[in-house]
Amino acid sequence: MKPASVEYHKATSIADAVDVLSSTEDEDAKVLAGGQSLVPMLSMRLARPSVLVDINGLTDLDYIRRDGDWLSIGALTRSRAVEKSAAVRDAAPLLSEAMGFVGHATIRNRGTIGGSVAHADPAAEAPAVLCALDAELVITGPAGARTVGANDFFHGFLTTAVGPDEMLTEIRVPVLPAGTGCAVEELARRHGDFAMVAVFAAVTVGDDGRCTDARLALAGTNPTPVRAREAEAVLVGSGLTAETIAQAAQAAAGVTNSANDIHAPAEYRRDMASVLTRRALRRAASDANVVV
Amino acid sequence: MASKVTVTVTVNGRTLSAECEPRRTLADFLRQTLGFTGVHLGCEHGVCGACTIVFNGATARSCCMLAVQADGAEITTVHGLADGETLHPMQEAFWDNHGLQCGFCTPGMLLRACELVEEFPDPTEEQIREGISGNICRCTGYQFIVDAIRDGAQRMRQTS
Ligand SMILES: Cc1cc2nc3c(=O)[nH]c(=O)nc-3n(C[C@H](O)[C@H](O)[C@H](O)COP(=O)(O)OP(=O)(O)OC[C@H]3O[C@@H](n4cnc5c(N)ncnc54)[C@H](O)[C@@H]3O)c2cc1C
Ligand code: FES
Ligand code: FES
C-alpha cells in the first residue's frame, strides 16, 4: 500500500500544467487534484504515472460564477463548496443535491468536481448529474481550449474526452428554467458509498401543469452515465400523472446495461432503476408543485 | 528514484521540516517521519477515516495526500485537541460515554466530530450518523460514539 516512485511537479499556471502533460514521454503524466481517487490508486499501484502534475496551487481554477444563463465552475472547486454554494442551489439545485451524495464530508472537503468528472467512475454522481443538466466541459490543451457536451464526454469506464496532454478546466451548467423541480434518488450500501444505482431527475412544468421538459440520468447502471431519453419523451407533454411516471420508470429501466458484479446482479440494478426513477420523478414533480 | 524534497509543516503549533520522497503519503510522513502517532493508518486507501487530520482548517484523510503537497500547511492531529493535561470537551465526552473501545478509530472520530459540531452546534442523531459515515469503527457499534458526540456538542456549546 505504498505508491511507487514518482516525480512531482507543482503547476504554476494552466499553461505550465499543460506543458508538463504534453512534454512527458509515454504520455503518462497525471493531474493531481483532490487526490481522493488518485492517491488511493497510487497506493494500490493501480496507477503508476511517472509524473504527478499537482494543480492545487491553481486557485484561478477554484470559483463558482453565475454569468447570465450559465453557471461556471472551475475544475478545482472542492465538492463541498459546490454542494454548499447558494449560487449553485439557485441555478441548478439538482447539482447541489447530487454533490451531497459524493463520498463523505471529509472526502468532499478535498475532492474536486473536476476530479470527479475527469475520473469518470460509472457509479459517480457528478458525471451523471452533469449529463442530466446538459453541462458543457471545457478542456484545455496545447492548442487552447475546446468545449465538449457532458453527454459526449464520457467514453467508457474511467475514460473521457480529455486527452493525455489536456486537462479539464471548467464546468459550465445552463441555469434551470423557472418551474423546474429536481430530485436525486440513490441506492448505496451506506450513505457516502458509490451508487449501486442513482437517478437524477429534473422536470419543468408549464402554467397549464404539463411537463415541458424532462431530464433523467442514471449512474451505476452502465459503463458511463446515461440519459433515459425514451423515458424523458414519455413525460414531455404529459401531465406528470402516476401513470406517465410509471411508464417513464419502465422506460428508464430499459436503458440499464450492467454486468453482474460483487455489489448486485444486473437484474437487481434494472429493477432498482425503475423504482428509483419513479421516486425521483414523484419528488421532482412535487418540487415543481405538481401533485401526483 | 525521484529526488528528495524538503517539506515544512506546522503540526499542533510546532513547525517542523524533514526530507522525503514525493511518493511519501502525508500519513506516513506525519506518523513515521515526524512521529505523530495520533495519525492512525487503517486501510491506507481512503475508506476508513482513521488517518483523519485537520488540514488548513478542514478535515482531510492524510493517506489521500502526499507529504510534498503539505509544504507550508497548518495541521492538527488528535494530539492537538487537548490543552496540556486538560482534555478537549469532545474527548471528555468520548471518555464519559464509552465512545471508544480499542481506540483505533478515535483520532478520526474526534476530529470529524469537532468539525461536525462547528457546522451543527446542536446536531441531530441523523446529522451525527451522516457526519461520521466516512469513519469506520470495528468495535463500538457506533451508538456510544453517537451519544458521545451529542454530549460533546453540548459541552462545546457551554464552553464557547
Ligand atoms: C471513501 C471514499 C468514498 C468515495 N465515494 C464517492 C462517491 O460516493 N461518489 C463519487 O462520485 N466519488 C466518491 N469518491 C471519489 C471522490 O469523489 C473523488 O474526490 C473524486 O472521484 C476525484 O476527485 P479528486 O479531485 O479527488 O481527483 P483526483 O483523485 O486528484 O484525480 C482523479 C482522476 O482525475 C484526474 N483529474 C483530476 N482533475 C483533473 C483535471 N482538472 N483535468 C484532467 N484530469 C484530472 C486525475 O489525473 C485522476 O486520474 C470517494 C472516495 C473515497 C476515498
Ligand atoms: S488510513 Fe486513511 S482512510 Fe483509512
Ligand atoms: S473503538 Fe475500536 S475501531 Fe472504534
Comparing CB atoms, the residue among A8, A36, A105 nearest residue B64 is A36
Confidence at A6, pLDDT banded by 50, 70, 90: very high
> What residues of chain A lie within 8 A of the CB of B63, using their CB?
39-40, 43
Among the CATH numbers 3.30.390.50, 3.90.1170.50, 3.90.1150.10, 3.40.50.150, which is that of A180-287?
A: 3.30.390.50
| pLDDT of res. A26 | 76
Check pLDDT > 80 for residue B60: yes
Task: Report the run of H or E that residue A137 belongs to, with start and end.
Answer: strand A136-141
Q: What is the mean pLDDT of residues A85-91?
A: 98
B23, B25, B134: residue with CB nearest A105 = B134
Instruction: Say if B5-80 and B89-159 have the same CATH topology.
Output: no
Percent share of chain A, pLDDT over 90: 92
CB of A112 shorter than 6 A to ligand 1 = yes
In chain A, CATH 3.30.43.10 sits at 7-54
Q: Averaged over B117-125, what is the pLDDT?
A: 97
End-to-end CA distance of chain B: 50
Q: Is the pLDDT of residue A241 over 80?
A: yes
pLDDT of residue B26: 98
Q: In chain A, where does the domain assigned CATH 3.30.465.10 lie?
A: 66-174
Q: Residue A231 is which amino acid?
A: A
pLDDT at A168 over 90: yes
Kindly tell me the burial class for residue A188, based on how many C-beta atoms sit within 10 Å of its own C-beta (0-12, 13-18, 19 or more): middle
pLDDT computed for residue A142 by the predictor = 96
pTM, two decimals, is: 0.96
Closest ligand 2 atom, residue B64 Cα: 2
Q: Which ligand is nearest to the CA of A35?
A: 1
Tell me the per-residue pLDDT of A151-160, one tens digit each, with 9 for 90 and over: 999 999 999 9
Nearest-Cα residue of chain A relative to residue B2: A7
Looking at residue B1, its pLDDT comes to 62
Distance from CA of A129 to the nearest CA of B (A): 22
Instruction: Measure B40 CA to ligand 2 centroid, in angstroms.
Output: 8
**With helix as H, strand as E and coil as C, how does B59-119 read?**
EEEHHHCEHHHHCCCEEECHHHCCECCECCHHHHHHHHCCCCCCCCCHHHHHHHHHHHHHH
Most A CBs within 10 Å, among B26, B44, B51, B69, to test the A interface: B69
Out of B26, B30, B32, B41, mutate this one to test ligand 2's pocket (max ligand atoms within 8 Å of CB): namely B41
* Interchain contact, B23 vs A191, CB within 8 Å: no
Choose the closest CB to B65 out of A8, A39, A103.
Answer: A39
- B138 CB under 6 A from ligand 3? yes
How many other CB atoms are found less than 10 A from the CB of residue B85? 5
Please tell me if the CB atom of residue B154 comes closer than 6 angstroms to any atom of ligand 3: no
Instruction: pLDDT band for A51, please (50, 70, 90 cuts).
Output: very high
The mean pLDDT of A97-114, rounded to a whole number, is 97
Are β-strands B5-11 and B74-76 bridged in parallel, bridged antiparallel, or unpaired?
Answer: parallel
Grid cell of A160 as nine digits: 473521457
DSSP state for residue B140 in the 8-state scheme: S
Judge whether B110 and B90 are in contact, CB under 8 Å.
yes
pLDDT, chain A, mean: 96
* pLDDT higher than 70, residue B120: yes
Closest partner residue to B64 among A40, A56, A105, by Cβ? A40
Model pLDDT, residue B13? 97
B62 touches chain A (CB under 8 A): no
Picking from A192, A40, A44, the residue whose alpha carbon sits closest to that of residue A123 is A192
Average pLDDT of the segment spanning A105-129: 97
Assigned C-alpha cell, B143: 451508538
Q: What pLDDT is stored for residue B155 in this prediction?
A: 97
The CATH topology of domain B89-159 is DNA polymerase; domain 1 (1.10.150)
Share of chain B above pLDDT 70, in %: 99
Residue A138: pLDDT band with limits 50, 70, 90: very high
Residue A71 has pLDDT above 70, yes or no: yes
- Amino acid identity at A225: P
CB contact under 8 A, B44 and A43: yes
What's A7-54's CATH class? Answer: alpha beta
* Whether residue A252 has pLDDT greater than 70: yes
Closest approach of chain B CAs to the CA of A235, in angstroms? Answer: 34
pLDDT band at B18 (very low <50, low <70, confident <90, very high): very high
Q: Is the ipTM of this complex over 0.85?
A: yes
| Contacts with A32 from chain B: Cβ below 8 Å | 66, 69
For residue B42, give the ligand 2 atom closest to its CA: 1
The arrangement of secondary structure in B5-80, i.e. its CATH architecture, is Roll (3.10)
CB contact under 8 A, A1 and B45: yes
Q: What pLDDT does residue B160 have?
A: 74
Task: Indicate whether A190 pLDDT > 90.
Answer: no
Distance from CA of A65 to the nearest CA of B (A): 23
Give, in order, the Cα–Cα distances in Å from A10 to each of A14, A51, B8: 11, 10, 16
Is the pLDDT assigned to residue A189 strictly greater than 90?
Answer: no
Q: Domain map of chain B by residue range?
A: 5-80, 89-159
Q: Is B140 in the pocket of ligand 3 (CB under 6 A)?
A: yes
Judge if the beta carbon of residue B141 lies within 6 A of ligand 3.
no
Give B73-114 pLDDT, tens digit per residue: 999 999 999 999 999 999 999 999 999 999 999 999 999 999
Residue ranges, comma separated, of all CATH 3.30.390.50 domains in chain A are 180-287
In this structure, are strands A180-187 and A167-174 parallel, antiparallel, or unpaired?
unpaired
CATH 3.30.465.10 fits A66-174, yes or no: yes
